[in-house]
Chains A and B, each alone.
Chain A
Amino acid sequence: MKLSLLTAICLAITASIAANCQVATPSVGYVRYANGDVRPIYGLPGNYIVGDSVLTSAEAVSFSGAGGWVSKPGTLALMDSKLTSVVTSEVRESAALFHIDGSIETAVAWLPESHVLLHWNGKSLSSTPVSLIGEGDTATSVRKLDANTASFLVSKPGGSVASYRISLLTGELKSSVPMAAACKSTWDDSSRIFCFSDQRLSVLSAASGDILQELALPVEGSLTIEEASARCLHLSAKAPGENWLLHLDDKDLQFYQLPGPKISPSPTDGANTNSAK
Chain B
Amino acid sequence: MKALALTALFCSCLGAQNLAFYLDPSGGASPVSALTSLPAAYGFPDTPVGSVSSSVIRVVNTGPASVVVDAVYVGAEAGSAYRTPNFTLTGSTLGATIAPGAFKLMTFNFTPSTTGITFGYLQASVAGVSIPMTTAAGNGTAPQITLSCSSSGIVQCTGATLQPNSANSLTFPNTLTTGTTQVPFTLTNSSASAINPQTLVSLTVPTNNPNSPFSLSSLPSTLAAGSSLTFNVTFAPSTANTYQTNLLVGNATYPLMGSGSSSVLGDISSLVITYVDSTGVRLTAQAATPISLGQSVVGASGSNSFTFSITNPQTTISAVSVAALSVSGTGFAISQAPSLPFSVAPGTSTTFTVTFNATATGTFSGLLTVGTRVFALTGQGINSPVPNPSFSIDVQPLVSQKQAHLSVNFPTATTVSAIGTLTMKFAPTVANVSDDPAVVFTATNGRQLQIDVANGATVGKYSGQTALTFQTGTTAGTLTFTLTFPNKAPYSQSFTITPAQVQVTSMNAVRQDPNLVITMTGYDNTYSLGQLGFLFYDTSGKAMTANPLNVDAASAFKQLFFTNNQAGGAFSLRASFPVTGKVADIGSVAFTLTNSAGTTSQTPAFQ
Interface residues of A (CB under 8 A from B): 1-2, 4-6, 8-14, 16-18, 20-27, 42-51, 241, 249, 256-266, 268-277
Contacts and interface: CB of A to CB of B under 8 A. Distances in A.
A272 B565 contact: yes
A46 B438 CA distance: 9
B442 A258 contact: yes
Contacts of B575: 17, 20-22
B185 to A, nearest CB: 63
B534 interface: yes
B234 interface: no
A11 B578 CA distance: 9
A223 to B, nearest CB: 17
Contact of B578 (A20, A25, A260): A20
B474 A47 contact: yes
B435 interface: yes
B565 A16 contact: no
29 contacts: A5-B582, A5-B585, A8-B579, A9-B536, A12-B580, A16-B577, A20-B575, A21-B532, A21-B573, A25-B566, A25-B572, A26-B570, A26-B572, A27-B572, A43-B474, A44-B401, A44-B567, A47-B523, A259-B442, A259-B445, A260-B443, A262-B444, A264-B444, A265-B446, A269-B440, A272-B435, A272-B437, A272-B565, A274-B561
Interface stretch (B5-13, B18-26, B251-259, B544-552): B544-552
Contact of A257 (B403, B447, B559, B580): B403
Interface string B128-171: 00000000000000000000000000000000000000000000
Interface string B513-532: 00000000111000100001
Interface of B: 400-403, 423, 425, 431-438, 440-448, 469, 471-474, 505-506, 521-523, 527, 532, 534, 536, 538, 544-545, 549, 551, 553, 556-563, 565-568, 570-582, 585-586
A23 B566 contact: no
B562 to A, nearest CB: 3
Nearest to A24: B572
Nearest to A241: B443
Contacts of B432: 274-277
Contacts of A44: 401, 474, 505, 521-523, 567, 570
A22 B442 contact: no
Contacts of A257: 403, 442, 469
Contact of B549 (A10, A51, A259): A10
Contacts of A14: 549
A12 to B, nearest CB: 4
A13 B573 contact: no
B527 to A, nearest CB: 8
A269 B441 CA distance: 11
A260 B559 CA distance: 28
A259 B435 contact: no
Contacts of A276: 432, 558, 561-563
Contacts of B425: 268
Contact of B447 (A26, A46, A266): A266
Given A273-B435, A274-B565, A25 B506 contact: no
